[in-house]
Amino acid sequence: MNISKEKLILFTRYPVPGKAKTRLIPELGENGAADLQEIMTGLAVLNARCFSAVSGADIEMRFEGADKTKMRRWLGKGIKFRCQGKGDLGQRMNRAFTNAFEEGCERVVIIGCDCPQIDRKCLSVAFNALKNNDIVIGPATDGGYYLIGLNKPVPEIFMNINWGTDSVFQQTITIAEDKRLKTAQLHKLSDIDRPQDLDLCRDMNLLTSSPVNNISVIIAALNEQSHIQKTIAAASDGAGEVIVADGGSQDNTIELAGLADAKTLNVPYGRACQLNTAALGAKGDILLFLHADTILPPHYAKAVIETVEISGFSAGAFRLTIDSNALGVRLIEKAVNFRSGLLELPYGDQSLFMTKDTFLRIGGFADMPIMEDFEMVKRLQRRGRVITISKSVKTSARRWLQLGVLRTTIVNQLVIAGFKIGISPLKLAGFYRNQKKRYHKIKSKRKDVQNEPTLLRTERSR
């Protein structure tokens, strides 16, 4: 496995009521404090995933209060999970830095998951600072720090610190100056540790319990100029906003999306990053993830809002209709809708939707080149019901018609089987793309032969 030169390490605690955010229990109650721990950790993971997709940095989660299985079921793939281990906070952080440098990293940053203002830009500034400084530190308003980064081991800055007091930051700076370390400081931000810090969470809608009735439709697109405006038009009838996250199109996709009154983002870092980045900036209470060649049904918004309000709801999706009259396609539809309804296992082409609160709590889509929708649905199933509603989306048949229904079905099932037995998504994506390239190459050769002059084909046949 290739190790990145950069590693981002997140420190958190599994959100067990009574053991998480204990200083906030008098204000929020045990369950409320644990809920806040969960959503702030998920938000930190989501920002980390967006940063990692752009920078290539590895993500590691150092946790307490659970095991690796629980953490992975909560936050998904693409993250290395490690227990924080014994000792005070300084000993645990020093251990994390030491391990990272021993593994070949050159720049390492640790953040806590209780500072919801840490975003991709903040992380980028921190890692860039380490190219010219020995240490980077982000001071917190309570006298501690929310981020610390090193480009070499410096165990002394974690020694003899009065952890949990308002002198942590200043003590650390004093040690850095004594060691003659070149230090960069970030802007001061707020950790959420005390009741007076909760106003920030309210401002960021992290504590809201208001009714959900505003939908943000998010479309990840790449070279979709022939479909995008029709897709946006159908989505706009009921959505508070439509966001198109473009993956680097070489055609007029992004221009046409803008003309159709969609918000547009340029996110050329893979489909999962496109969806995560758009979701972070979405204003809706409900997020609906739509393929660029898929048309939402009339009056879909009312059905979505009603479904979200069902007791035990975790996520939802639509029945699938494929825009073709081919018999094989009709059979695929029936199989997809049967699986989705019986097993509560819809895929991304059925337009997944959930509350933004839920999306943040699970840390968004895992940064994977393929199967990101499947992986997310499996995590969502553990939180509650994944409901397929009676309305149908209509998606383009091009994927099935280009490769053929049987070939596409076999390839898809092989990829799913490979994912279940632990084959890496990178290898599966390579297999999937190679099958498409191989088929198109064979098809192209056949077309070339068919277009050759008749006399030449006759000569060859002799």
Q: How far apart are CA 216 and CA 51, in angstroms?
A: 22
Report percent pLDDT > 70 for the chain. Answer: 93
pLDDT at 251 over 60: yes
Q: 384: which 2 tokens?
A: 């509650």
Instruction: Give per-residue pLDDT as tens, 158-181.
Output: 999 999 899 999 999 999 999 999
Average pLDDT rounded to a whole number, residues 94-113: 97
Name the 3-class secondary structure at 380.
helix
Residue 3 to residue 242: CA distance in whole angstroms: 37
456 has pLDDT over 50: no
User: What phi, psi does 81 have (nearest 5°)?
Assistant: -105, 130
* pLDDT of 6 strictly over 80: yes
Q: Is 436's pLDDT higher than 60?
A: no
Q: Domain 215-402 sits in which CATH superfamily?
A: Spore Coat Polysaccharide Biosynthesis Protein SpsA; Chain A (3.90.550.10)
**Per-residue pLDDT at 442:** 40
Stated as kind and residue range, the H or E segment containing 28 is helix 25-55
pLDDT-based confidence at 447, cuts 50/70/90?
Answer: very low
Asked if domains 6-203 and 215-402 share a fold, the reply is yes
- Specify burial of residue 220 (Cβ count, 10 A radius: 0-12, 13-18, 19+): buried
Q: 433 pLDDT band (50/70/90 cuts)?
A: confident
- Global pTM? 0.91
pLDDT tens, residue by residue, 395-412: 998 888 777 888 888 888
Decide: helix, strand or coil at residue 387. Answer: strand
- pLDDT, tens digit, for every residue of 134-159? 999 999 999 999 999 999 999 999 99
Interaxial angle between packed helices 372-381 and 405-420, expressed in degrees from 0 to 180 and rounded to the nearest 10: 60
- Does the structure show a pLDDT above 50 at 132? yes
Each domain of the chain, given as residue ranges in start order, spans: 6-203, 215-402
pLDDT given for residue 2 in this prediction: 59
Is the model's pLDDT at 208 over the cut of 80? no
**CB-count exposure of residue 404 (10 Å: 0-12, 13-18, 19+):** middle
Does 438 have pLDDT greater than 70?
Answer: no
385: helix, strand or coil: strand
Beta pairing class for 385-396 and 313-323: parallel
Q: How confident is the model at residue 435 (pLDDT cuts 50, 70, 90)?
A: low
Q: What is the pLDDT of residue 437?
A: 59
Residue 50 to residue 42: CA distance in whole angstroms: 12
Question: What is the band of 355 on the pLDDT scale with cuts at 50, 70, 90?
Answer: very high
Q: What stretch of H or E contains 289?
A: strand 286-291
Q: Tell me the CATH class for 6-203.
A: alpha beta
405: enclosing H helix or E strand: helix 405-420
pLDDT per residue as tens digits for the range 321-343: 999 888 888 999 999 999 999 99
pLDDT confidence band for 67 (50 / 70 / 90): very high
315 pLDDT band, cuts 50/70/90, is: very high
Is residue 449 pLDDT above 70, yes or no? no
pLDDT of 226: 95
**pLDDT, tens digit (0-9, with 9 covering 90-100), for 84-95:** 999 999 999 999
Tokens matching residue 280: 């972070």
Token reading at 99: 């391990």
* CB neighbours of residue 173 within 10 Å: 18
Sign of the torsion formed by the C-alpha atoms of 92, 96, 97 and 98: positive
Share of the chain above pLDDT 90, in %: 79
Q: What is the mean pLDDT of the chain?
A: 91
3 pLDDT tier (thresholds 50, 70, 90) = low
